[in-house]
Amino acid sequence: MALLSDKDSVFFGKLDLAHVGALGHSIGGRAVGRVCQLDRRIRACVNEDGAPDEGAVLNYPGSDPPKQPFLLEEVFVAPPTNKELVDAHESRQHFNQSIAQHDAAVEKQLRHCQDGGYRVTIKTPGINHESFTDVPLMESAHHPKAEAAALHSLSLTVEVTLAFFDQYLKGEKDSLLNRVHESGSEISLRHYPIGKP
């Protein structure tokens, strides 16, 4: 905190601690869930494709789901083929039950968040877990079609994330979250308002 109060610091007068958000990808997304449980000074929380099996956030003993506005952002993953299930020694019934249990846990946790939590799934050709980073973009350099696809995937994740932070840190209500239907089938959004079935 000395860096923020020291007039000689490069950070002096440049940070608004009343409007702080937390963002993490993959295991970092799980860390965001935990830090938002522990620190209510964080006003908005984004987990990018890091949902654990037990829901949107890890269930630490004695902890409640985050109370802040929370966005779980995921990429679309196609259901496994029958061959993939056989190779994994798993039945279709067990797989479907696992998905249903996970979805129910996510919904239960997100309903505890202020304003109800959001779950966004992004579906576009070539998108994957790394599409929240610049890795696919760097790996596709000198391959125009792959580079364009990687840039498009990254831009979608950025658009959703910024819309969430704009709404909950800047108070901009006319955001993508309220007009996602205009974006076509690439972005699907589920909002879990508190107290509604």
Q: For residue range 76-109, what is the model confidence (pLDDT) as tens digits?
A: 999 999 999 999 999 999 999 999 999 999 999 9
Strands (E) in 49-195, as ranges, are 70-75, 117-122, 187-192
pLDDT at residue 64 above 70? yes
Task: Count up the domains in the chain and report the number.
Answer: 1
* Residue 6 within a domain: no
Q: Which residue has the higher pLDDT, 141 or 145?
A: 145
pLDDT of residue 152: 95
* Residue 90 within a domain: yes
Residue 42 tokens read as 């964080």
* Residue 5 within a domain: no
Please give the residue range of the domain that contains residue 145. 17-192
pLDDT at residue 7 above 80? no
Q: Locate tokens 């840039």: which residue?
A: 151
* Residue 171 within a domain: yes
Instruction: Supply φ then ψ for residue 40, to 5 degrees.
Output: -75, -5
Q: Which of 108, 128, 122 is nearest to 194 (CA)?
A: 108
Q: How far apart are CA 98 and CA 93, in angstroms?
A: 9
| Whole-number CA gyration radius for the chain | 19
Q: How far apart are CA 130 and CA 122, in angstroms?
A: 13
* Residue 3 within a domain: no
Please state whether the predicted TM-score (pTM) of the whole model is above 0.85: yes
Look up residue 71 and give its DSSP letter. Answer: E
pLDDT of residue 30: 94
**What percent of the chain stands above pLDDT 70?**
93
The pLDDT mean for the chain works out to 89
* Residue 132 within a domain: yes
Q: How far apart are CA 34 and CA 31, in angstroms?
A: 5
pLDDT of residue 5: 65
* Residue 9 within a domain: no
The amino acid present at 43, given as its one-letter code, is R
Residue 15 tokens read as 């940070």
* Residue 106 within a domain: yes
Half-sphere exposure of 189 (CA within 13 A, CB side): 24
Strands (E) in 59-197, as ranges, are 70-75, 117-122, 187-192
